[in-house]
Every structure is written in structure tokens, then in C-alpha cells.
């Protein structure tokens, strides 16, 4: 990977994570000069990063206007959830077909992390970890394209949650994720799909049950938190990059 594309990918990762953790609410302006200064990138590279995030549905970058974090309509949000249900049904089927005991241990470890973040009252991290649970299942499906599409759809769901959801919507996911792990261990595909569909129905209900909320934030402060150098060792435990979730460039 060239130096330029590494820098673009780093900016994408930082912005993607800030959007997924709802630190940059939908509709937030993302001025090219401010991003360029923060990520030490030319405008051309900033535009490349914004174009990538636009292709993932996380950013709106109309020509000759300041890009913003995406603000999907309620109808678009429902479409995203519809696609997510379709993908996750087949993820469950494939994971069960390839099931091995290590999958159960890995998923349980992940749910424990979600529980720790939830108990610590860290709604942003517990929300991100809740999404990553599903992306891990996507990895376990063994189909890289399915994992990529699912990752994208799960990221869009985080944005939708920020726009329409209730605060602390991720709270219920620890218990529900444990139910999914138990169902996968049972290796009955129809039963596990039913558990997954029930969970996704609840996620959608929590995500689309409110008119949205206003968040107070400061773009500069958010960027400084998310734009720590990759190799600087400065990332705190809370804001570290997930091990595999965001490494889509490999």
C-alpha cells in the first residue's frame, strides 16, 4: 500500500469509528480544510477519504459543497434494516455449517467485552462492540464479500441509531447476544435464525422508535480524539482500533 493510500485509509478508519461511536452525529459538517489539517493530508486526499465513506453510506459529499455525515431518511433506514435481516439470516446458516468450538469461545469473549463497556457506562463503546459482534459472525461465515457487505450495513445501522434511536439503545444487546451464541451452539439453523431475527427486530425497534435527538459536540475535539497516530501508541483502551473490524483494506 502506498503512503498516500495508507493515509487515506487511516483518515477513513478514524472518521468511520467516530461516526459508528456516534461522536459525529448525522448531518455534521466535515470541512475539507479542517480534516486536512487534522490528518495532515492534502485536499485531494481528504476528498478521496470522503468519497470512500460516501460509498459506504456514512457521508454525503455533494460536488462543490461541504461534506457532512450522512442523514438517511426513515425510508432509507428501513431499507438498510431489511438488507441487514437478509444478510444475517445467511450468515447464521453459514456459521452453523462451519461451526467449531473456538467460535463459541471467541463470541463469548466478545460479549464479555460488551458487558464490561456497558457496566462502565460507556454507551459509545458498548454500541460499537454490539455492532462488531455481528461483524465477527460475518467473518466466521467464511465469505469475505458477505462480511464486507454486513460490515457496511452494520455501520449504517450505527448511524441510523444516532439519528433516530433512543439513548443507550445498545443496552439490551448483551443478553440478546448471549442468546444468539447459545442458539448457534445448538447448531439448529432454523432455530438460530429465529433467535437472530427476533434480536434484529428489537434492534430495529430501538433504532427507529424515536424522532432523534440533538447532540452537543465540538468537531475539533472529536477529531483530536479519533485522529491519534496509528503508531503513536497514544490510543487509549477505549478508543483503540478494533482488531479486525476496520481493516478492510487488507
> In whole angstroms, how close is the CB of 53 to Zn ion at the nearest point?
23
Span interacting with Zn ion, options 73-81, 82-90, 121-129, 172-180, rule CB under 5 A: 172-180
Nearer to Zn ion, 71 or 85 (CB): 85
Phi, then psi, of 68 in degrees rounded to 5:
-135, 160
Nearer to Zn ion, 36 or 131 (CB): 131
Nearer to Zn ion, 135 or 222 (CB): 135
- Cell numbers linked to 182: 447459545
C-alpha span between 115 and 113 (Å, rounded): 5
Nearer to Zn ion, 36 or 127 (CB): 127
Nearer to Zn ion, 173 or 239 (CB): 173
Nearer to Zn ion, 141 or 173 (CB): 173
Span interacting with Zn ion, options 14-22, 116-124, 173-181, 238-246, rule CB under 5 A: 173-181
Give, in order, the Cα–Cα distances in Å from 144 to each of 21, 85, 128, 151. Answer: 24, 18, 21, 10
> In whole angstroms, how close is the CB of 128 to Zn ion at the nearest point?
12
> In whole angstroms, how close is the CB of 148 to Zn ion at the nearest point?
18
Q: Is 169 a residue that touches Zn ion (CB under 5 A)?
A: no
Span interacting with Zn ion, options 37-45, 165-173, 188-196, 207-215, rule CB under 5 A: 165-173
> In whole angstroms, how close is the CB of 34 to Zn ion at the nearest point?
34
Nearer to Zn ion, 139 or 173 (CB): 173
63: left (phi over 0), alpha (psi -120 to 50) or beta: beta
Q: Is 158 a residue that touches Zn ion (CB under 5 A)?
A: no
- Cell numbers linked to 124: 459509545
Residue whose CB is nearest to Zn ion in the complex, by number = 173
Of 141, 169, 173, 239, the one binding Zn ion by CB under 5 A: 173
Span interacting with Zn ion, options 25-33, 71-79, 166-174, 220-228, rule CB under 5 A: 166-174
Contacts with Zn ion by CB under 5 A lie at 173
Amino acid at each position: 500500500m502506498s503512503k498516500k493510500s495508507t493515509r487515506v485509509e487511516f483518515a477513513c478508519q478514524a472518521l468511520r469509528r467516530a461516526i459508528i461511536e456516534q461522536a459525529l452525529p448525522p448531518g455534521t459538517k466535515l470541512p475539507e480544510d479542517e480534516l486536512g489539517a487534522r490528518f495532515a493530508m492534502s485536499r485531494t486526499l481528504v476528498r478521496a477519504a470522503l468519497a470512500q465513506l460516501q460509498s459506504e453510506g456514512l457521508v454525503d459529499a455533494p460536488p462543490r459543497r461541504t461534506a457532512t455525515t450522512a442523514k438517511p431518511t426513515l425510508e432509507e433506514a428501513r431499507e438498510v434494516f431489511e438488507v441487514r435481516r437478509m444478510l444475517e439470516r445467511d450468515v447464521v446458516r453459514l456459521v452453523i455449517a462451519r461451526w467449531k468450538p473456538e467460535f463459541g469461545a471467541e463470541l463469548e469473549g466478545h460479549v464479555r467485552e460488551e458487558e464490561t463497556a456497558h457496566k462502565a457506562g460507556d454507551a459509545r463503546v458498548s454500541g460499537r462492540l454490539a455492532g462488531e459482534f455481528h461483524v465477527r459472525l460475518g467473518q466466521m461465515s467464511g465469505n469475505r464479500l458477505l462480511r464486507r457487505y454486513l460490515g457496511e450495513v452494520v455501520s449504517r445501522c450505527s448511524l441510523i441509531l444516532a439519528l433516530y434511536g433512543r439513548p443507550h439503545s445498545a443496552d439490551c444487546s448483551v443478553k440478546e447476544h448471549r442468546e444468539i451464541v447459545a442458539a448457534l451452539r445448538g447448531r439448529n439453523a432454523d432455530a438460530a435464525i429465529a433467535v437472530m431475527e427476533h434480536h434484529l427486530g428489537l434492534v430495529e425497534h430501538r433504532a427507529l422508535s424515536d424522532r432523534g435527538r440533538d447532540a452537543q459536540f465540538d468537531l475539533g475535539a472529536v477529531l483530536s480524539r479519533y485522529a491519534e497516530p496509528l503508531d503513536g501508541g497514544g490510543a487509549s483502551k477505549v478508543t483503540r482500533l478494533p482488531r479486525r473490524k476496520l481493516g478492510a483494506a487488507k
